[in-house]
Amino acid sequence: MPSPDAFNCGTNGQFCISCQAGMTCNAGICGASQNMMSGGNCQSGDLKLAEMTTANATSVVSMGQLQASASVQFAGQAAFETPTVGVCVPNDAVSLVVSPGVGMNSVVSWHLAGALGQKVDRSTATSWLTWSSPGVMVPKSPTLTVSPGHHELRFATTAQNGVINPSLGVRRGTRATMSKITINVVFVAGSGLSQNDVTTLFEGSAVFDQVLSQAGIEVTQVGAGSINDGSLTVINDSELTRLSQATIESLADAPMVDGAVNLYFLQEVRSADAAGTLLGQAMSVPGMPKAPAREGVVLSVDAHRAGGVIQSTAVWTTLAHELAHWLGLRHTSERTGTIHDLIDDTPQCLASRDTNRDGLIAENECLGFGSDNLMFWTYDFSNPHTQVTAGQAFVLSSALTVEPK
């Protein structure tokens, strides 16, 4: 609680309820007003997002090149960190996404001012993953929301003196109960999709619409395009930058929509590690429009064929789950049952439910404990899980690429 002295205080750093002219009280701290749209405790030298972005819109701001030279420990491993960048988040920020840029060894650490007021715990891989990897988004839940004002960001990489080109995505305006999103479907040459397949493809999209509708989100526009580079139709998930940098030819009848989420249809996406063939993958969690390698979702077409026919419901089940990742949702419970999302109302399936002791929490072991949720760690598209909680709906409707309807 602020002391009585803090009322009408005029000094930076004191608790306050109100402040003298020229200063604003934000999260209990008086600070110089940057302008009407900036958090009150911002500091000179902060990147002033209110001046760099557009009101009632989503903008992506480059943070410039940063060199990582300071030694730091991440989950017990040596890494190198950039200097701190101060960021002033405007009062009308709905969501904020921090992307460390291209390079999977880039990680982000940050200090959130205001309501959270805490540093990301990076002492263990588990605690760090819970918060940040590989990108960071707020809100993470209805209680862990974006707070206006001063934030501090630092980025780390395993390469000493490595150069990082991070960016910040900011959505300003209001979060609405009824929202809209636009998508682009992008077909890569060699994916094997025939004209008949494309016609069939949209027949099962009801499952996708049903998932989004639980968050009050409607797909209002669909653009389409093609990538005429057959080398991209079979790729590893470590090569997604190539995909997002490829030239897309817009279809005349349904032109590509600027800033929409891209859904890429490939013959096969393979994991660079032991996971092998992937059904699909969000290019980043969370994603960011127009950011290299982070701008959408990829889907393995051959994986979704049965009897020679593309299985449309399966396709859109995969896309719904991966899009939800891209919009900021994590798995309700990860495979071991030891990591869970930060949303209060999502069911957790704990490791103690692993009754067959195989180290994995399976669907049948988590009945009633989240296995019917859209974001359970695994799903079977023969029996799609579509449940979305109110907390998850809050995050989805706050996402960068979602707009009030």
Partner 1 sequence: MNSLVLLVSVVLTQAGGADELGPLLRRAHQGPTLAEVQRVIPQPASQLEAIALDTKRFGIERMRAVDLLGEIKAASAVPALDSLARTGDLASLKRHSLEALARIDVARAHAAAVAMLSATDVHVRAAAVTLLGAHPSAAGQRAMERLMATEADPVVKKAANRSQR
Residue from 132, 167, 244, 311 in contact with partner 1 (CB under 8 A): 311
Residue from 104, 251, 342, 360 in contact with partner 1 (CB under 8 A): 360
Residue from 24, 34, 318, 401 in contact with partner 1 (CB under 8 A): 318
Question: From the CB of 388, what's the least distance to partner 1, in Å?
Answer: 17
Question: From the CB of 268, what's the least distance to partner 1, in Å?
Answer: 5
State the pairing for strand pair 261-266/296-300.
Answer: parallel
Q: How many amino acids of this chain bind partner 1 (CB under 8 A)? A: 38
Residue from 381, 397, 401, 403 in contact with partner 1 (CB under 8 A): 381
Instruction: Please report how many Cα atoms fall inside a 13 Å half-sphere around the Cα of residue 254, on the Cβ side.
Output: 12
Residue from 103, 134, 142, 192 in contact with partner 1 (CB under 8 A): 192
Bridge partner residues of 163 (DSSP): 67
Q: What is the DSSP string of 254-305?
A: SPPPTTPEEEEEESEEE-SSTT-EESEEESSSS--TTSTT-SEEEEETGGGE
Residue from 99, 267, 332, 401 in contact with partner 1 (CB under 8 A): 267
308 contributes a contact to partner 1 by CB under 8 A: yes
Question: From the CB of 135, what's the least distance to partner 1, in Å?
Answer: 18
From 72-80, 216-224, 239-247, 299-307, span contacting partner 1 (CB under 8 A): 299-307
Residue pair 373/341 in contact (Cβ under 8 Å)? The answer is: no
323 contributes a contact to partner 1 by CB under 8 A: no
Distance CA 374, CA 39 (A): 35
Q: What is the DSSP string of 167-221?
A: EEEEEES---SSEEEEEEEEEETTS---HHHHHHHGGGTHHHHHHHHTTTEEEEE
279 contributes a contact to partner 1 by CB under 8 A: yes
284 contributes a contact to partner 1 by CB under 8 A: no
Strand, helix or coil for residue 16 = coil
314 contributes a contact to partner 1 by CB under 8 A: yes
The token pair at 227 is 């990538």
For tokens 């393979």, name the residue.
270
53 contributes a contact to partner 1 by CB under 8 A: no
Distance CA 91, CA 258 (A): 26
Q: Closer to partner 1 at the Cβ: 110 or 265? A: 265
347 contributes a contact to partner 1 by CB under 8 A: no
Q: Closer to partner 1 at the Cβ: 61 or 198? A: 198
Distance CA 350, CA 359 (A): 11
Bridge partner residues of 343 (DSSP): none
128 contributes a contact to partner 1 by CB under 8 A: no
Residue from 74, 80, 264, 377 in contact with partner 1 (CB under 8 A): 377
Question: From the CB of 320, what's the least distance to partner 1, in Å?
Answer: 11
Residues 205-244 as x/- pattern, contact with partner 1 by CB under 8 A: -------------------------xx-xx----------
Contacts of 174 (CB under 8 A, 6+ apart): 92, 94, 404
The kind and range of the H/E element at 243 are helix 240-245
Contacting residues toward partner 1, per CB under 8 A:
190, 192, 230-231, 233-234, 267-268, 271, 274-279, 300, 302-308, 311, 314, 318, 321, 335, 356, 358, 360, 363, 377-382
